[in-house]
A and B are shown apart, each in its own frame.
Chain A
Amino acid sequence: MSKVTTELDFFGLDKNQTNNAPKPKFKKTLDRRRSFREMQGAISKIDPEIIKSLLASGANRSESSTRSLSVPSTPKEDHPQIPSSPVHVPLSRPSMELVSGTVPMTIFYNGTVSVFQVSPNKAEDILKVAKETTPEKNKSMEKDLSVIPPTTLRSKLFDKNLEGDLPIARRKSLQRFLEKRKER
């Protein structure tokens, strides 16, 4: 089995969700996020400690919380930010479908629905931890926690994916010139 580098975007944690984040670039991305938000509720009821420990065990690398606004010379890895309290975030963008090894996981909990992109291993971890928590929590979780096969969600994601997610890229050299042109 090949080594799966899991893109642990556990909560679809997106820098754009933090307070200081600038607006997302493409309007399409924004629209897509809004529609998914409608499908989910808050996950704030889940014990934050559970979330933190899962992220810590699975996250590839940690990242400083201050985000520099300069464009880095080498692109950074897609690091999930570990929150101090769980943040309500929507499903990450459909192109996550394209990352091998991860599959949408839907969690029904206490009247809320949330969808995350996880690998099969991570899904197992989540279920294990859910069972290991305190007896009271354990019982209610066992009752309500269900994992839904992603078939229906997938077809929606595919359709979204085909809507020209890839804008025509411009040559670097030409892009630089056109930016300079604006300044003249």
Chain B
Amino acid sequence: MEDPDTKKPRSTPRNVDDVISLVIPYVTDARDRASASLVNPTWLRADSETREHVTMALCYASSPDRLSHRFPNLRSIKLKGKPRAAMFNLIPENWGGFVTPWVNEIALSMGRIRSVHFRRMIVSDLDLDVLARARLDELEVLKLDKCLGFSTDGLLTVVKHCRKIKTLLMDDSSFLEKDGKWLHELALHNTSLEVLNFYMTELTKLSPRDLATIAKNCHRTLVSAKVGDFDMLKLARFFNAAVNLEEFRGGALNEDPEKPDKYTKLTFPPKLSRLGLTYLGANEMPIIFPFAAQIRKLDLLYALLETNDHCKLIRKCPNLEVLETRNVIGDKGLEALAQYCKKLKRLRIERGEEDEGGLVTQRGLTALAQGCKELEYMAVYVTDVTNECLRTIGAHLKNLRDFRLVLLDQEERIIVADLPLDNGVRSLLMGCEKLRRFALYLRPGGLTDVGLGYIGRYSPNVRWMLLGYVGETDEGLVEFSRGGCCPKLQKLEMRGCCFSERAIAAAVMELPSLRYLWVQGYRASMTGEDLRVMSRPYWNIELIQARRVPEVDERGEVGEVEHPAHILAYYSLAGQRTDCPPTVRVLREL
């Protein structure tokens, strides 16, 4: 009989339990692992001891000690804190998601950790210090993704102690910049850097010379650099040294009307295929034409291009697989994509300013659906849309896994004639069978209760949904959550809907896979009592109170914006939160 404590696999497996210990290291999908771990204690142990990576979609779903006991040999963790809405300025900054207890646990009992990714969490310099000193040269990856609360002192500690770091990321994080020592320290000692990312940070004290030194020292390994807004001319040495660079985002192209050839002498690394140049304008565009044919990923979100510029550029990128831009691309730009970029897999069109012109409507989307059949991800802000257009998407884009549509609330000049979108949405959902993520943000009248019922009925594989201004009455939500509807829906976000607290709570009880709910804008009951309809074990219910937040408007005046209350509810094995700020109220059991 096999000794259950022996991890060494036998050459001739004697029973099923022996087999699983050989097989399970090859099972990497988290869902498969979860299923395997339910079979019996031996399988559970096999999974526990060999699990290498865990992603916690919400850090409050469990506790650090539970994590380390369940998976003692973890090498990599990804934790997410604040609700997604935080990226849109809707969540109080001090809401929570503190990394401290997790970092402490890593230091205490997770001795194999090599990769740490914190997303939308609160990180302090002390946390970084603890982590750095605990893992030292074994820490290979640190991603502080949309985090806040630390300073460059913390970064310096990490760089000083973790000499073999390969990925250092602080993308879109808010932190205090005291100096540029951390970059200098990297330049002095690191020879293994592969990914360096301080994109979307407001850093001003960094030296381009340090960056060039890093490129030189790590020229063999450095493949991705996303930097702040150094003027591109200052990065010339960096580009010359980073010979294996494949991805670059950032820099700043500061046009000078007296020097139209300012950037023409700039040369780029030979393997560059993923690119995003900040403030790229029509005048500078030609500098990327020489290698446009090899561009696979293009970020124009922070460029200054007009519709025609988009068309000119798109025409030169036949191998484009990923494009991110603003709606200034217009229908014309989408038609160009449909014609020239047959390999397009991911498209994100964000909402620009109204003065940019360029509108995306059913015209562009229809062309896109017919021309770019490989699309897997599509997120668009539109000013007009029709049922027919949605039907076309459902008919052509069979590989679509993630679809997000926002109907802009433009002023009266644009009338959306073809509402409600019930039938179009149904056709799209029926056609796109692989859909796993779905977002529909409309306006009153955009989708009836019947349409909402369609969403429930025809989303067999969808795991995440964002619904904004859909439905008409509580009846819609009843239809949406009826037996058999949304069987795999795990995370539901709703905004601006007309549903009552009671209907929301009742729907939650019907959705079999739901583990996370976020709602802003709903009909509250007299006392919040109706939320208790969804009271159940392990289900935490929190309210973010209605607030007034000072904001600076377009004219530079400080006014106050009203933020209606939010409901946040989620499953947790860790009990109720004890670290809430005053704006968050935990609904306690009676």
Which residues of A pack against B, CB within 8 Å?
A: 1-5, 7, 15-16, 22-26, 29, 60, 69, 71-78, 93, 95-101, 103, 158, 161-162, 164-178, 181, 184
Contact = CB atoms under 8 A, between A and B. Distances in A.
B502 to A, nearest CB: 13
Contacts of B552: 71
Contacts of A166: 495-496, 520-521, 564
B302 A177 contact: yes
Contact of B88 (A96, A99, A171, A176): A171
9 contacts: A23-B559, A69-B550, A75-B549, A77-B547, A98-B522, A164-B496, A169-B90, A171-B87, A178-B352
Contact of A2 (B172, B546, B588): B588
B61 interface: no
Contacts of A167: 409
Interface string B507-548: 000000000000011111111110000000000000101111
A161 B590 CA distance: 30
B525 to A, nearest CB: 7
B496 A24 contact: no
B93 A77 contact: no
Contacts of A170: 88-89, 351
Contacts of B587: 2
Interface of B is mostly: loop
A2 B92 CA distance: 22
A23 B526 CA distance: 31
Per CB-CB distance, the 3 closest pairs between chain A and chain B, nearest first, are A100-B528, A25-B559, A169-B88
Given A71-B550, A164-B443, A174-B350, A15 B560 contact: yes
B441 A25 contact: no
B559 A7 contact: no
A100 B302 contact: no
B558 A173 contact: no
Contact of A74 (B92, B496, B561, B564): B92
A72 B496 CA distance: 26
Contacts of B549: 75
Nearest to A169: B88
Contacts of B529: 100
A174 B324 CA distance: 12
Given A77-B547, A173-B87, 18 more contacts: A2-B587, A3-B585, A23-B557, A72-B550, A74-B93, A75-B549, A78-B545, A78-B547, A95-B546, A95-B565, A98-B565, A164-B443, A166-B521, A168-B441, A172-B89, A174-B326, A174-B350, A181-B304
B546 A165 contact: no
A168 B543 contact: no
A95 B302 CA distance: 35
Contacts of A69: 550, 558
A8 B526 CA distance: 16
Among A73, A103, A166: residue with most chain B CB under 10 A: A166
B564 A25 contact: no
Among B443, B444, B547, B590: residue with most chain A CB under 10 A: B547
A22 B301 contact: no
B582 interface: yes
A77 B444 contact: no
Contacts of A177: 301-302
B273 to A, nearest CB: 23
B524 A97 contact: yes
Contact of B301 (A24, A71, A96, A174): A174
Interface string B278-301: 010000000000000000000001
Nearest to A26: B561
B151 interface: no
Given A72-B550, A170-B88, A173-B172, A98 B564 contact: yes
Contacts of A15: 560
B441 A71 contact: no
B248 to A, nearest CB: 18
Contacts of A161: 523
A168 B409 contact: yes
Given A71-B558, A74-B93, A171-B87, A95 B443 contact: no
